[in-house]
């Protein structure tokens, strides 16, 4: 009887050992599979980073599309969205960059970087309200550099929307310990001072001056050579028209021809002077916006790298 009990106990022990070995094998397989996945994903991301460092953005974007996204964790999906946004940013694909950056979830380590990048891109599309909303969230980051870049972008947006008082407030909040942020802040302040010191020309005044003295409106617009080139033919046509009128009368072919040409050149000169001032003002504004945008972008790129 004792022998029978012992055999039964031995069978139970063996059965339990088999079950334990099976479970251990399954767990070992699962962990090794996950480790292999993790190593593969990390290797893919390292390769993408390598391509980005070599400025091979198209190749980096293509590599991201080949990564298997089936049954992967949310953290890896966030990482993919961040890098897809990054490559799209460098490829000037603004809409795709914004779309991918906005897909990065709040609990991801890349969240604030994605937020900063997306807010900058919104600013380039003149979506300043949306950009400001994102940047105010970015300011809650515990990272000093991220907060400083957020304040810098808010300052830049203030300049672009002609809100000088807000610019000065945000500028005070920027921590300029970081040299890149410091240089960008100095350049934004220079842009602010230059804009205040650069007077815009009056389109109406240029037209009025050209009405009184042909070419003077273009001289006012800063085009001295063009002004002289406008004055000489108009004055010549005016003199020829007057001479034809005195000699041949108002109905003469000579007077009608010269008077018609004089009128066309005279009115064209007025319109040309007004256009020259309009183009000059627009050129100043475009260069101003480009200068601000570049000084906003450089710290953003330094944060993303």
pLDDT tens per residue, range 123-142: 999 999 999 999 999 999 99
Mean of the pLDDT values across residues 232-261? 88
pLDDT above 60: residue 209? yes
Domain contains 259: yes
Domain contains 281: yes
pLDDT tens per residue, range 57-110: 999 999 998 888 777 888 899 999 999 999 999 999 999 999 999 999 999 999
pLDDT above 90: residue 152? yes
| Dihedral sign of CA atoms 98, 99, 102, 103 in order | negative
What contacts 80, CB < 8 A, 6 or more positions away?
Answer: 64, 67, 69
Domain contains 59: yes
Q: Which of 93, 109, 125 is the C-terminal boundary of a domain?
A: 109
pLDDT above 60: residue 169? yes
Domain contains 29: no
Residue 56 CA to residue 49 CA, distance in Å, equals: 10
Domain contains 71: yes
Q: Report how far apart, in Å, the C-alpha atoms of 39 and of each of 48, 139, 305 are.
A: 14, 34, 22
For residue 236, the enclosing domain spans 203-289
Q: Which of 76, 109, 142 is the C-terminal boundary of a domain?
A: 109
Which of 49, 292, 301 has its CA nearest to residue 194? 292
DSSP character at residue 110: T
Residue 188 CA to residue 170 CA, distance in Å, equals: 12
Q: Which of 85, 109, 133 is the C-terminal boundary of a domain?
A: 109
Residue 135 CA to residue 155 CA, distance in Å, equals: 11
Domain contains 101: yes
C-alpha 115, offset from chain centre: 13
pLDDT above 90: residue 230? no
Q: How many domains does the chain have?
A: 2
Give the position of tokens 């009368």.
249
How crowded is the C-beta side of 108, counted as CA atoms within 13 Å?
23
* Burial call 29-43: b when 16+ CB within 10 Å, e when fewer: eeeeeeeeeeeebee
| 8 A C-beta contact, residue 135 and residue 150 | yes
Domain contains 191: no
Mean of the pLDDT values across residues 111-130? 96
Mean of the pLDDT values across residues 145-170? 95
Domain contains 276: yes
């Amino acid at each position: 009887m004792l022998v029978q009990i012992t055999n039964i106990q031995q069978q139970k022990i063996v059965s339990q050992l088999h079950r334990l070995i099976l479970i251990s094998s399954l767990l070992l397989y699962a962990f090794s599979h996950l480790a292999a996945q993790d190593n593969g994903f990390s290797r893919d991301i390292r390769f993408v980073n390598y391509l980005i460092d070599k400025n091979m953005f198209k190749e980096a974007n293509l590599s991201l599309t080949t990564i298997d996204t089936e049954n992967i964790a949310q953290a890896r999906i966030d990482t993919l969205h961040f890098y897809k946004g990054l490559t799209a940013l460098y490829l000037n694909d603004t809409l795709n960059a914004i779309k991918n950056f906005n897909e990065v979830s709040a609990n991801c380590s890349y969240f604030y970087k994605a937020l900063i990048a997306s807010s900058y891109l919104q600013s380039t599309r003149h979506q300043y309200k949306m950009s400001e909303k994102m940047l105010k969230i970015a300011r809650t980051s515990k990272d000093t550099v991220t907060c400083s870049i957020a304040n810098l972008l808010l300052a830049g947006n203030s300049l672009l929307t002609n809100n000088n008082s807000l610019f000065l407030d945000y500028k005070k909040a920027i921590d300029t310990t970081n040299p890149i942020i410091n240089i960008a802040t100095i350049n934004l302040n220079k842009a602010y001072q230059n804009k205040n010191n650069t007077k815009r020309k009056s389109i109406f005044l240029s037209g009025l001056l050209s009405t009184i003295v042909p070419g003077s409106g273009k001289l006012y617009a800063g085009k001295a050579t063009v002004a002289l080139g406008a004055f000489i033919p108009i004055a010549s046509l005016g003199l020829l028209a007057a001479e034809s009128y005195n000699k041949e009368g108002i109905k003469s072919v000579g007077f009608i021809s010269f008077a018609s040409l004089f009128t066309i050149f005279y009115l064209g000169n007025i319109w040309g002077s007004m256009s020259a001032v309009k183009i000059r003002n627009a050129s100043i504004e475009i260069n101003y916006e480009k200068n601000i945008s570049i000084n906003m972008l450089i710290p953003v790129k330094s944060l993303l790298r």
